[in-house]
Structure 1
Amino acid sequence: MKEGTGSAGTEEAVAAAPAAQGRHRVPAQPAASDADRRRDTGRDRLAGPEDDGSARGEHTHGEPALARPRHAVQRSSVRGQVLAALRTALVSGDLRPGEVYSAPVLAERFGVSATPVREAMQQLTQEGAVEVVPNRGFRVVERGAREIAELAEVRALIEVPVMLRLARTVPAERWAGLRPLAEATVRAASSGCRATYADADRAFHSAVLALAGNEQLVGIAEELHRRAQWPPLGGAPGGGSRAALIADAHEHTALLDALIAGDLDVVRALVGEHFNGAE
């Protein structure tokens, strides 16, 4: 896609072409989160004068192919939708650790200008998912098992005490209200799609923590959870298989059963086990 200034009808228009066939595909993006929508309000804009060249990639030769998504990005909240799609691609492995991707090529796949893609990539740079490669684009960060383990440890330090406190104070009927979310994680795991499971997994954990009534806690925990779901180089250790996802999902339903029953000993054991092998 040619970059530069242009009308809304050309720069931000929805691409109507059917899905392309290819080995690597950026999945159709899920709806942007409330936080992303708030962040995007008033920020989406037409492509304007170019940024500093070191923050964008223009040379596209030699980079891996990335097929067009099934559904092109819609006009509203473009940056948020692109960001959600890129996060999904990180979780699924469609954006591969160590590979460099340029904003113009990704923009062409989404049917938008390069501007919202660059903005979304800059957000992912702040989150530590990608790094800028001057005059080329953005490289997906290669992460090792140690970083994954460290993220799991930090999540446990934040979430476990809160869950144990909630187990002693939240009535059974409120825990029962989370049953649909727990069951949704099992269905998502059964699909074998890592990205689908990642969304359902975060939704369940966020709903549990929301019972504490602390929005800052939920936001920090969700960001850590999201980062923990990005696979390291070579794939997620023990967590990428369908069987591993199903086992992790069933820990959610078992935990919820114990919370409803008020069995604190079982809750304590299940919470510790869940975070030792945290997704």
Structure 2
Amino acid sequence: MHEPAHARVPAQPLIPAQQKVLRHSVRGQVLDALRAALVDGDLAPGEIYSGPALGERFGVSATPVREAMQQLALEGAVECLPNRGFRVLTRTARELAELAEVRALLEVPVMLRLARTVPVSAFESLRPAAAATAGAAAAGDLPRYADADRSFHGQVLALAGNDQLVQVAEELHRRAQWPLPGAARIRRADLIADAAEHSALLEALIARDLPVVESLVREHFAGNPA
């Protein structure tokens, strides 16, 4: 019988044994670790993973792993297989292209409105968020870059004052970050180039250069490695 794959999941304990952590906190940390493993390819598309096996690898019980996996199922990352575990869903190039199109339809008009209406000081305050993406890219840390990338986009969109917009955009962004099956690991140089687009976007927003803002956002979605 084929055993669920789990060899590529990081083996270090996620929660030190002596640490007293509330159940929801453990689940949240497991969820973060699983999301990072998805982005990094440690949870491979098409593979099946069992709750107990993952719990052993992370140093926690199977319960928070199952709860975190159920959240990932709601996000469309995995499917639940009764009495077997969870299968990581396989992405297609078409799905990623569709996500890029939807993100552009959602965010381009918002970015253009922000460029016309938001004070320059608000954009200036986002330079640390752009710098965080550059730092993660320079380190070649893909999971950290994915988090910083979502944070930057979320902080820009938050200037619109629409919480629902930010939540929907973040979900679409997260889905776009899951790799295609068999895809080569994203190169550090590509991450650095992608991060540079964040700084360029801020400069265009500050300058209220609408054509450049639109061009940068569309190109960023079309070629975004994370």
Q: Note whether the superposition's TM-score is higher than 0.5.
A: yes
Partner of 1:13: none
The alpha carbon displacement at 1:60 in A equals 8.5
Which amino acid letter does the alignment assign opposite residue 68 of structure 1?
A
Partner of 1:69: 12
> Is the CA contact 2:154–2:170 (under 8 Å) kept in the aligned structure 1?
yes
> Is the CA contact 1:155–1:221 (under 8 Å) kept in the aligned structure 2?
yes
What does 1:43-122 correspond to in 2, within 5 Å?
61=3, 63-65=5-7, 66-69=9-12, 71-72=14-15, 75-76=21-22, 77-122=25-70
**Take 2:212 and 2:60, find their aligned partners in 1: how far apart are those partners?**
50
Give the SS at the match of 2:87. strand
Structure 1: gaps spanning 5 or more residues? 1-58
**Take 2:145 and 2:85, find their aligned partners in 1: how far apart are those partners?**
29
Which of the residues 86, 95, 114 maps onto 1:147?
95
1:118-147 Cα deviation digits (max 9, x unpaired): 111111111111112232111111111111
**Take 1:226 and 1:67, find their aligned partners in 2: how far apart are those partners?**
21
> Is the CA contact 1:206–1:218 (under 8 Å) kept in the aligned structure 2?
yes
> Is the CA contact 2:204–2:210 (under 8 Å) kept in the aligned structure 1?
yes
Give the SS at the match of 2:79. strand
Which of the residues 204, 210, 222 maps onto 2:170?
222
- Whichever of the two has the greater Rg, that structure is 1
Higher relative contact order (CA 8 A, sep 6+): 2
The alpha carbon displacement at 1:70 in A equals 5.5
How many residue pairs get aligned? The number is 219
Which of the residues 236, 250, 254 maps onto 2:200?
254
What does 1:226-245 correspond to in 2, within 5 Å?
226-235=174-183, 240-245=186-191
Give the SS at the match of 2:83. coil
Question: Structure 1 vs Structure 2: percent identity of aligned residues?
Answer: 67
Taking structure 2 as the reference length, what is the TM-score of the superposition?
Answer: 0.91
Which of the residues 154, 158, 161 maps onto 2:109?
161
**Take 2:111 and 2:159, find their aligned partners in 1: how far apart are those partners?**
9
1:42-81 Cα deviation digits (max 9, x unpaired): xxxxxxxxxxxxxxxxx98463423423642662311111
The alpha carbon displacement at 1:108 in A equals 1.2
Structure 2: gaps spanning 5 or more residues? none
Which amino acid letter does the alignment assign opposite residue 224 of structure 1?
L
1:243-271 Cα deviation digits (max 9, x unpaired): 11111110100110111122222222212
**Take 1:166 and 1:61, find their aligned partners in 2: how far apart are those partners?**
51
Which amino acid letter does the alignment assign opposite residue 63 of structure 1?
A
**Take 1:271 and 1:129, find their aligned partners in 2: how far apart are those partners?**
25
Question: Are residues 1:264 and 2:203 paired?
Answer: no
Taking structure 1 as the reference length, what is the TM-score of the superposition?
Answer: 0.74
> Is the CA contact 1:60–1:136 (under 8 Å) kept in the aligned structure 2?
no
Give the SS at the match of 1:131. strand
**Take 2:87 and 2:13, find their aligned partners in 1: how far apart are those partners?**
24
